[in-house]
Structure 1
Amino acid sequence: MRRHWKVGDLAKLAGLTVRTLRFYDQIGLFSPSAQTESGHRLYNESDLSRLQQIVSLKELGLSLEEIKSVLNDGQISPLEIINLQMARIKEQMKLQQMLLEQLQHVSKSIQGNAPLAVEDFTELLQVMKKSHEALVIERRTRWEQRLDMLGDFLAVGEEESKSKEE
Protein backbone atom coordinates (compact mmCIF):
# COMPACT_ATOMS: atom_id res chain seq x y z
CA MET A 1 0.00 0.00 0.00
CA ARG A 2 1.17 3.49 -0.82
CA ARG A 3 2.52 5.51 2.12
CA HIS A 4 2.49 9.07 0.71
CA TRP A 5 0.31 10.97 -1.74
CA LYS A 6 0.99 14.22 -3.53
CA VAL A 7 -1.75 16.83 -3.46
CA GLY A 8 -3.07 15.97 -6.95
CA ASP A 9 -3.24 12.27 -6.18
CA LEU A 10 -4.99 12.90 -2.88
CA ALA A 11 -7.47 15.26 -4.53
CA LYS A 12 -8.41 12.58 -7.07
CA LEU A 13 -8.65 9.93 -4.38
CA ALA A 14 -10.92 12.07 -2.20
CA GLY A 15 -13.02 13.56 -5.00
CA LEU A 16 -11.89 17.08 -4.12
CA THR A 17 -9.96 19.69 -6.03
CA VAL A 18 -6.32 20.57 -5.49
CA ARG A 19 -7.51 24.10 -4.84
CA THR A 20 -9.74 22.90 -2.01
CA LEU A 21 -6.89 21.00 -0.36
CA ARG A 22 -4.61 24.02 -0.67
CA PHE A 23 -7.31 26.22 0.82
CA TYR A 24 -7.74 23.80 3.74
CA ASP A 25 -3.98 24.03 4.29
CA GLN A 26 -4.09 27.83 4.07
CA ILE A 27 -6.77 28.10 6.79
CA GLY A 28 -5.05 25.52 9.00
CA LEU A 29 -7.75 22.87 8.68
CA PHE A 30 -5.79 20.20 6.83
CA SER A 31 -2.06 20.41 6.29
CA PRO A 32 0.31 17.89 4.76
CA SER A 33 2.54 15.83 7.01
CA ALA A 34 5.59 16.45 4.89
CA GLN A 35 6.98 18.16 1.83
CA THR A 36 9.43 17.08 -0.79
CA GLU A 37 12.68 18.97 -1.23
CA SER A 38 11.05 20.81 -4.12
CA GLY A 39 8.11 21.89 -1.91
CA HIS A 40 5.43 19.43 -3.06
CA ARG A 41 2.92 18.56 -0.35
CA LEU A 42 2.99 14.95 0.84
CA TYR A 43 0.13 13.36 2.74
CA ASN A 44 0.27 10.11 4.72
CA GLU A 45 -2.30 7.61 6.01
CA SER A 46 -3.12 9.63 9.15
CA ASP A 47 -3.79 12.61 6.87
CA LEU A 48 -6.29 10.46 4.98
CA SER A 49 -8.09 9.73 8.23
CA ARG A 50 -8.33 13.44 9.06
CA LEU A 51 -9.54 14.26 5.56
CA GLN A 52 -12.25 11.60 5.86
CA GLN A 53 -13.36 13.21 9.11
CA ILE A 54 -13.43 16.66 7.50
CA VAL A 55 -15.49 15.46 4.54
CA SER A 56 -17.88 13.56 6.83
CA LEU A 57 -18.42 16.56 9.11
CA LYS A 58 -18.93 18.77 6.08
CA GLU A 59 -21.61 16.40 4.80
CA LEU A 60 -23.28 16.62 8.20
CA GLY A 61 -23.60 20.38 7.70
CA LEU A 62 -20.80 21.83 9.81
CA SER A 63 -19.00 24.94 8.61
CA LEU A 64 -15.26 24.81 8.05
CA GLU A 65 -14.67 26.82 11.23
CA GLU A 66 -16.86 24.40 13.20
CA ILE A 67 -15.01 21.43 11.73
CA LYS A 68 -11.67 22.97 12.62
CA SER A 69 -12.83 23.58 16.17
CA VAL A 70 -14.29 20.08 16.58
CA LEU A 71 -11.17 18.35 15.27
CA ASN A 72 -8.63 20.53 17.07
CA ASP A 73 -10.44 20.38 20.42
CA GLY A 74 -10.97 16.62 20.19
CA GLN A 75 -14.67 17.15 20.89
CA ILE A 76 -15.59 14.14 18.80
CA SER A 77 -13.73 10.95 17.98
CA PRO A 78 -13.25 9.51 14.48
CA LEU A 79 -15.57 6.65 15.48
CA GLU A 80 -18.29 9.09 16.54
CA ILE A 81 -17.99 10.89 13.20
CA ILE A 82 -18.41 7.62 11.33
CA ASN A 83 -21.38 6.69 13.54
CA LEU A 84 -23.02 10.06 12.82
CA GLN A 85 -22.51 9.56 9.11
CA MET A 86 -23.96 6.03 9.28
CA ALA A 87 -27.01 7.32 11.20
CA ARG A 88 -27.60 9.96 8.52
CA ILE A 89 -27.36 7.39 5.74
CA LYS A 90 -29.69 4.99 7.59
CA GLU A 91 -32.27 7.78 7.93
CA GLN A 92 -32.01 8.52 4.22
CA MET A 93 -32.41 4.81 3.43
CA LYS A 94 -35.44 4.58 5.72
CA LEU A 95 -37.13 7.47 3.91
CA GLN A 96 -36.36 5.95 0.52
CA GLN A 97 -37.63 2.54 1.64
CA MET A 98 -40.90 4.09 2.84
CA LEU A 99 -41.31 5.84 -0.50
CA LEU A 100 -40.55 2.65 -2.42
CA GLU A 101 -43.10 0.65 -0.40
CA GLN A 102 -45.81 3.25 -0.92
CA LEU A 103 -45.10 3.42 -4.65
CA GLN A 104 -45.22 -0.38 -4.88
CA HIS A 105 -48.58 -0.38 -3.09
CA VAL A 106 -50.03 2.19 -5.49
CA SER A 107 -48.53 0.38 -8.48
CA LYS A 108 -50.07 -2.96 -7.46
CA SER A 109 -53.44 -1.32 -6.97
CA ILE A 110 -53.31 0.29 -10.40
CA GLN A 111 -52.13 -2.95 -12.06
CA GLY A 112 -54.93 -4.87 -10.39
CA ASN A 113 -57.46 -2.30 -11.56
CA ALA A 114 -58.39 -1.73 -7.93
CA PRO A 115 -59.78 1.69 -7.13
CA LEU A 116 -57.29 3.83 -5.32
CA ALA A 117 -58.48 5.36 -2.09
CA VAL A 118 -57.81 8.96 -1.21
CA GLU A 119 -55.67 7.63 1.64
CA ASP A 120 -53.38 5.90 -0.87
CA PHE A 121 -52.62 9.20 -2.55
CA THR A 122 -52.33 11.18 0.67
CA GLU A 123 -49.92 8.64 2.16
CA LEU A 124 -47.87 8.65 -1.03
CA LEU A 125 -47.79 12.43 -1.05
CA GLN A 126 -46.74 12.55 2.61
CA VAL A 127 -43.88 10.12 2.06
CA MET A 128 -42.82 12.02 -1.07
CA LYS A 129 -42.93 15.26 0.92
CA LYS A 130 -40.67 13.83 3.65
CA SER A 131 -38.22 12.54 1.07
CA HIS A 132 -38.27 15.85 -0.79
CA GLU A 133 -37.79 17.86 2.41
CA ALA A 134 -34.75 15.76 3.34
CA LEU A 135 -33.30 16.36 -0.13
CA VAL A 136 -33.98 20.11 0.07
CA ILE A 137 -32.35 20.33 3.50
CA GLU A 138 -29.31 18.44 2.23
CA ARG A 139 -29.01 20.66 -0.85
CA ARG A 140 -29.42 23.81 1.25
CA THR A 141 -26.69 22.59 3.60
CA ARG A 142 -24.35 21.94 0.68
CA TRP A 143 -25.03 25.40 -0.77
CA GLU A 144 -24.36 26.98 2.62
CA GLN A 145 -21.07 25.08 2.81
CA ARG A 146 -20.10 26.24 -0.67
CA LEU A 147 -20.99 29.82 0.21
CA ASP A 148 -18.91 29.54 3.39
CA MET A 149 -15.95 28.34 1.34
CA LEU A 150 -16.46 31.10 -1.22
CA GLY A 151 -16.68 33.71 1.55
CA ASP A 152 -13.51 32.38 3.14
CA PHE A 153 -11.77 32.35 -0.23
CA LEU A 154 -12.84 35.91 -1.01
CA ALA A 155 -11.77 37.10 2.45
CA VAL A 156 -8.32 35.62 1.93
CA GLY A 157 -8.13 37.28 -1.49
CA GLU A 158 -9.11 40.64 0.03
CA GLU A 159 -6.44 40.31 2.71
CA GLU A 160 -3.82 39.53 0.07
CA SER A 161 -4.89 42.54 -2.02
CA LYS A 162 -4.72 44.86 1.00
CA SER A 163 -1.28 43.60 1.96
CA LYS A 164 -0.05 44.15 -1.60
CA GLU A 165 -1.41 47.70 -1.59
CA GLU A 166 0.41 48.48 1.66
Structure 2
Amino acid sequence: MKTVNEVSKLTGVSIRTLQYYDQIGLLKPAEYTESGYRLYDDAALEKLQQILLFKELEFPLKDIKEIINRSDFDKTKALEQQIELLELKKEYIENLLNLCNYLKTRGVRKLDFTAFDSSKLEEYSRKAKEQWGQTAAYKEYEEKSKNWTKEDRSNMMADFSKLFEEFGTMKDMDPASAEVQAQVKKVQDFITENMYTCTNEILYSLGTGYASGGEFTQNIDKMGGKGTAEFVFRAIKIYCGQ
Protein backbone atom coordinates (compact mmCIF):
# COMPACT_ATOMS: atom_id res chain seq x y z
CA MET A 1 0.00 0.00 0.00
CA LYS A 2 1.14 3.54 -0.74
CA THR A 3 0.01 6.76 0.91
CA VAL A 4 -1.35 9.64 -1.12
CA ASN A 5 1.95 11.46 -0.60
CA GLU A 6 3.94 8.50 -1.93
CA VAL A 7 1.65 8.16 -4.95
CA SER A 8 2.04 11.86 -5.67
CA LYS A 9 5.84 11.60 -5.60
CA LEU A 10 5.81 8.42 -7.70
CA THR A 11 3.46 9.69 -10.42
CA GLY A 12 3.87 13.46 -10.41
CA VAL A 13 0.13 13.87 -9.79
CA SER A 14 -0.50 16.43 -7.05
CA ILE A 15 -2.09 15.42 -3.75
CA ARG A 16 -4.90 17.88 -4.40
CA THR A 17 -5.62 16.24 -7.76
CA LEU A 18 -5.69 12.76 -6.19
CA GLN A 19 -8.11 14.04 -3.56
CA TYR A 20 -10.27 15.53 -6.31
CA TYR A 21 -10.28 12.21 -8.22
CA ASP A 22 -11.50 10.55 -5.04
CA GLN A 23 -14.24 13.15 -4.52
CA ILE A 24 -15.70 12.66 -8.00
CA GLY A 25 -15.40 8.87 -7.90
CA LEU A 26 -12.80 8.69 -10.66
CA LEU A 27 -10.06 7.06 -8.57
CA LYS A 28 -10.96 5.70 -5.15
CA PRO A 29 -8.18 4.61 -2.77
CA ALA A 30 -8.03 0.90 -1.94
CA GLU A 31 -8.84 1.81 1.65
CA TYR A 32 -8.68 4.55 4.28
CA THR A 33 -6.82 4.42 7.59
CA GLU A 34 -8.67 5.00 10.84
CA SER A 35 -7.42 8.58 10.66
CA GLY A 36 -8.94 9.00 7.18
CA TYR A 37 -5.70 8.86 5.18
CA ARG A 38 -5.93 7.44 1.66
CA LEU A 39 -4.04 4.25 0.78
CA TYR A 40 -3.51 3.00 -2.79
CA ASP A 41 -2.74 -0.55 -3.93
CA ASP A 42 -1.36 -1.76 -7.28
CA ALA A 43 -4.86 -1.95 -8.80
CA ALA A 44 -5.47 1.72 -7.96
CA LEU A 45 -2.10 2.68 -9.45
CA GLU A 46 -2.93 0.76 -12.61
CA LYS A 47 -6.21 2.65 -12.85
CA LEU A 48 -4.35 5.95 -12.33
CA GLN A 49 -2.08 5.02 -15.22
CA GLN A 50 -5.14 4.54 -17.43
CA ILE A 51 -6.56 7.89 -16.31
CA LEU A 52 -3.32 9.67 -17.18
CA LEU A 53 -3.31 8.09 -20.64
CA PHE A 54 -6.74 9.44 -21.45
CA LYS A 55 -5.78 12.82 -19.98
CA GLU A 56 -2.86 12.90 -22.43
CA LEU A 57 -5.43 12.30 -25.16
CA GLU A 58 -7.37 15.32 -23.77
CA PHE A 59 -10.51 13.49 -22.70
CA PRO A 60 -12.72 15.27 -20.11
CA LEU A 61 -12.64 13.58 -16.71
CA LYS A 62 -16.33 12.67 -16.87
CA ASP A 63 -15.67 10.75 -20.10
CA ILE A 64 -12.58 9.07 -18.65
CA LYS A 65 -14.66 7.87 -15.71
CA GLU A 66 -17.21 6.29 -18.01
CA ILE A 67 -14.61 4.72 -20.31
CA ILE A 68 -12.51 2.99 -17.65
CA ASN A 69 -15.60 1.70 -15.84
CA ARG A 70 -17.08 0.06 -18.94
CA SER A 71 -17.58 -3.69 -18.68
CA ASP A 72 -15.78 -4.10 -22.01
CA PHE A 73 -12.83 -1.83 -21.16
CA ASP A 74 -9.67 -3.31 -22.71
CA LYS A 75 -6.73 -2.69 -20.35
CA THR A 76 -4.21 -4.24 -22.74
CA LYS A 77 -5.32 -1.97 -25.57
CA ALA A 78 -5.04 1.08 -23.29
CA LEU A 79 -1.50 0.11 -22.26
CA GLU A 80 -0.45 -0.48 -25.87
CA GLN A 81 -1.76 2.98 -26.76
CA GLN A 82 0.13 4.53 -23.88
CA ILE A 83 3.37 2.92 -25.09
CA GLU A 84 2.76 4.13 -28.64
CA LEU A 85 1.91 7.62 -27.47
CA LEU A 86 5.11 7.80 -25.39
CA GLU A 87 7.17 6.55 -28.34
CA LEU A 88 5.74 9.35 -30.50
CA LYS A 89 6.48 11.92 -27.80
CA LYS A 90 10.01 10.55 -27.45
CA GLU A 91 10.55 10.93 -31.21
CA TYR A 92 9.15 14.46 -31.12
CA ILE A 93 11.42 15.51 -28.22
CA GLU A 94 14.48 13.87 -29.80
CA ASN A 95 13.88 15.83 -33.01
CA LEU A 96 13.73 19.07 -31.03
CA LEU A 97 16.90 18.15 -29.10
CA ASN A 98 18.77 17.36 -32.32
CA LEU A 99 17.75 20.71 -33.78
CA CYS A 100 18.77 22.60 -30.62
CA ASN A 101 22.17 20.87 -30.51
CA TYR A 102 22.72 21.70 -34.19
CA LEU A 103 21.87 25.35 -33.61
CA LYS A 104 24.12 25.46 -30.52
CA THR A 105 27.17 24.13 -32.35
CA ARG A 106 26.68 25.60 -35.83
CA GLY A 107 24.65 28.72 -35.34
CA VAL A 108 21.11 29.68 -36.32
CA ARG A 109 21.45 29.48 -40.10
CA LYS A 110 19.59 26.19 -40.38
CA LEU A 111 16.03 27.26 -41.19
CA ASP A 112 14.47 23.85 -40.53
CA PHE A 113 11.07 23.75 -38.85
CA THR A 114 10.27 20.06 -39.34
CA ALA A 115 11.27 19.33 -35.73
CA PHE A 116 8.28 21.38 -34.60
CA ASP A 117 5.86 19.24 -36.59
CA SER A 118 3.51 17.60 -34.07
CA SER A 119 1.10 16.23 -36.68
CA LYS A 120 1.90 12.59 -35.78
CA LEU A 121 0.92 13.20 -32.18
CA GLU A 122 -2.23 15.05 -33.20
CA GLU A 123 -3.25 12.33 -35.66
CA TYR A 124 -2.68 9.63 -33.05
CA SER A 125 -4.76 11.54 -30.52
CA ARG A 126 -7.57 11.97 -33.06
CA LYS A 127 -7.68 8.26 -33.88
CA ALA A 128 -7.62 7.26 -30.22
CA LYS A 129 -10.53 9.58 -29.50
CA GLU A 130 -12.50 7.95 -32.29
CA GLN A 131 -11.89 4.55 -30.67
CA TRP A 132 -12.63 5.49 -27.07
CA GLY A 133 -14.76 8.59 -27.30
CA GLN A 134 -18.19 7.07 -27.73
CA THR A 135 -19.42 7.66 -24.18
CA ALA A 136 -23.12 8.20 -23.60
CA ALA A 137 -22.59 11.91 -22.94
CA TYR A 138 -20.40 12.26 -26.02
CA LYS A 139 -22.96 10.53 -28.23
CA GLU A 140 -25.75 12.71 -26.86
CA TYR A 141 -23.75 15.90 -27.44
CA GLU A 142 -22.77 14.71 -30.92
CA GLU A 143 -26.42 14.11 -31.80
CA LYS A 144 -27.58 17.48 -30.47
CA SER A 145 -24.81 19.47 -32.16
CA LYS A 146 -24.59 17.64 -35.50
CA ASN A 147 -26.52 20.33 -37.42
CA TRP A 148 -25.08 23.36 -35.63
CA THR A 149 -23.49 26.14 -37.62
CA LYS A 150 -20.56 28.19 -36.29
CA GLU A 151 -23.09 30.88 -35.41
CA ASP A 152 -25.25 28.39 -33.50
CA ARG A 153 -22.25 27.23 -31.50
CA SER A 154 -21.15 30.79 -30.81
CA ASN A 155 -24.65 31.81 -29.68
CA MET A 156 -24.91 28.78 -27.41
CA MET A 157 -21.62 29.59 -25.69
CA ALA A 158 -22.62 33.25 -25.35
CA ASP A 159 -25.86 32.23 -23.63
CA PHE A 160 -23.94 29.87 -21.34
CA SER A 161 -21.51 32.67 -20.45
CA LYS A 162 -24.42 34.92 -19.44
CA LEU A 163 -25.38 32.44 -16.73
CA PHE A 164 -21.97 32.93 -15.11
CA GLU A 165 -22.17 36.71 -15.57
CA GLU A 166 -25.42 36.54 -13.60
CA PHE A 167 -23.71 34.45 -10.94
CA GLY A 168 -21.16 37.25 -10.66
CA THR A 169 -23.88 39.65 -9.51
CA MET A 170 -24.88 37.22 -6.74
CA LYS A 171 -21.49 36.70 -5.07
CA ASP A 172 -22.52 38.66 -1.95
CA MET A 173 -25.60 36.49 -1.48
CA ASP A 174 -25.96 33.29 0.51
CA PRO A 175 -25.17 30.42 -1.91
CA ALA A 176 -28.01 28.46 -0.24
CA SER A 177 -30.59 31.16 -1.01
CA ALA A 178 -33.50 30.33 -3.29
CA GLU A 179 -32.33 32.78 -5.98
CA VAL A 180 -28.80 31.35 -6.17
CA GLN A 181 -30.05 27.78 -6.12
CA ALA A 182 -32.43 28.63 -8.95
CA GLN A 183 -29.43 29.91 -10.91
CA VAL A 184 -27.68 26.57 -10.39
CA LYS A 185 -30.79 24.85 -11.75
CA LYS A 186 -30.58 27.11 -14.82
CA VAL A 187 -27.01 25.93 -15.46
CA GLN A 188 -27.98 22.28 -15.08
CA ASP A 189 -31.01 22.68 -17.37
CA PHE A 190 -28.97 24.57 -19.96
CA ILE A 191 -26.34 21.81 -20.13
CA THR A 192 -29.04 19.13 -20.40
CA GLU A 193 -30.89 21.00 -23.14
CA ASN A 194 -27.87 21.97 -25.23
CA MET A 195 -25.14 19.41 -24.49
CA TYR A 196 -25.91 16.21 -22.58
CA THR A 197 -28.02 15.03 -19.65
CA CYS A 198 -26.52 16.78 -16.65
CA THR A 199 -27.17 14.63 -13.59
CA ASN A 200 -26.36 15.93 -10.11
CA GLU A 201 -23.25 13.74 -10.14
CA ILE A 202 -22.04 15.31 -13.41
CA LEU A 203 -22.96 18.78 -12.19
CA TYR A 204 -20.95 18.31 -8.99
CA SER A 205 -17.98 17.06 -11.02
CA LEU A 206 -18.22 20.12 -13.27
CA GLY A 207 -18.49 22.42 -10.26
CA THR A 208 -15.33 20.94 -8.74
CA GLY A 209 -13.58 21.61 -12.04
CA TYR A 210 -14.85 25.19 -12.07
CA ALA A 211 -13.09 25.88 -8.76
CA SER A 212 -9.95 23.83 -9.44
CA GLY A 213 -7.84 26.89 -10.19
CA GLY A 214 -7.19 26.09 -13.85
CA GLU A 215 -8.54 27.42 -17.12
CA PHE A 216 -12.17 26.86 -16.06
CA THR A 217 -11.69 29.06 -13.01
CA GLN A 218 -9.97 31.81 -15.00
CA ASN A 219 -12.68 31.90 -17.68
CA ILE A 220 -15.58 31.95 -15.21
CA ASP A 221 -13.91 34.68 -13.16
CA LYS A 222 -13.52 36.70 -16.36
CA MET A 223 -17.26 36.38 -16.96
CA GLY A 224 -18.47 37.17 -13.46
CA GLY A 225 -15.52 38.74 -11.69
CA LYS A 226 -12.92 37.32 -9.34
CA GLY A 227 -14.33 34.71 -6.97
CA THR A 228 -17.26 33.76 -9.19
CA ALA A 229 -16.00 30.24 -9.93
CA GLU A 230 -15.53 29.45 -6.24
CA PHE A 231 -18.97 30.89 -5.45
CA VAL A 232 -20.58 28.78 -8.20
CA PHE A 233 -18.96 25.66 -6.79
CA ARG A 234 -20.20 26.43 -3.26
CA ALA A 235 -23.72 26.85 -4.65
CA ILE A 236 -23.48 23.62 -6.66
CA LYS A 237 -22.28 21.69 -3.59
CA ILE A 238 -25.39 22.79 -1.71
CA TYR A 239 -27.64 22.04 -4.68
CA CYS A 240 -26.19 18.51 -4.98
CA GLY A 241 -26.43 17.88 -1.24
CA GLN A 242 -22.68 17.63 -0.75
Q: What TM-score bracket applies, with the shorter chain setting the length?
A: 0.5 to 0.7
Return the match for 2:57 from 60, 64, 81: 60
The answer (yes or no) to whether the contact 1:8–1:18 under 8 Å persists in 2 is: yes
Q: Which runs of 5+ in 1 are unaligned?
A: 139-147
Larger Rg over CA atoms:
1
Q: Which position in structure 1 is the counterpart of 2:6?
A: 9
The secondary structure found in structure 1 opposite 2:39 is: strand
What code does the residue aligned with 2:236 have? E
The secondary structure found in structure 2 opposite 1:73 is: coil
Displacement of 1:150: 3.3
What code does the residue aligned with 2:87 have? K
Q: Which position in structure 2 is the counterpart of 1:27?
A: 24
Q: Which position in structure 1 is the counterpart of 2:47?
A: 50
Q: Confirm whether residue 82 of structure 1 aligns to residue 82 of structure 2.
A: no
The secondary structure found in structure 2 opposite 1:91 is: helix
Whole-Å separation in 2 of the counterparts to 1:19 and 1:101:
37
The answer (yes or no) to whether the contact 2:27–2:48 under 8 Å persists in 1 is: yes
The answer (yes or no) to whether the contact 1:99–1:131 under 8 Å persists in 2 is: no
Displacement of 1:41: 1.5
Whole-Å separation in 2 of the counterparts to 1:96 and 1:7:
31
What code does the residue aligned with 2:237 have? E
Residues 11-48 of structure 1 show CA distances to partners (whole Å, capped at 9, x for unaligned) of 22221111111111111100011111222221111111
Gap change, CA 1:133 and 1:13, over 3 Å in 2: same
Displacement over 3 Å in runs of 4+: 92-108, 131-135, 152-158, 161-164
Q: State percent identity of aligned pairs.
A: 27
Q: Which position in structure 2 is the counterpart of 1:159?
A: 236
Q: Confirm whether residue 130 of structure 1 aligns to residue 117 of structure 2.
A: yes
The answer (yes or no) to whether the contact 2:5–2:15 under 8 Å persists in 1 is: yes
Gap change, CA 1:61 and 1:106, over 3 Å in 2: same
Aligned residues: 139
Whole-Å separation in 1 of the counterparts to 2:101 and 2:10:
38
Displacement of 1:55: 1.1
Gap change, CA 1:152 and 1:106, over 3 Å in 2: closer
Displacement of 1:54: 0.8
Structure richer in helix, relative to its length: 1
Whole-Å separation in 2 of the counterparts to 1:37 and 1:52:
27
Residues 60-82 of structure 1 show CA distances to partners (whole Å, capped at 9, x for unaligned) of 22111111111001454222222
The secondary structure found in structure 2 opposite 1:42 is: strand
Residues 78-129 of structure 1 show CA distances to partners (whole Å, capped at 9, x for unaligned) of 2222221222233334445566777899999x79xxxx9xxx84xx23x145
Bigger RCO of structures 1 and 2 (CA < 8 A, at least 6 apart): 1
Whole-Å separation in 2 of the counterparts to 1:16 and 1:133:
26
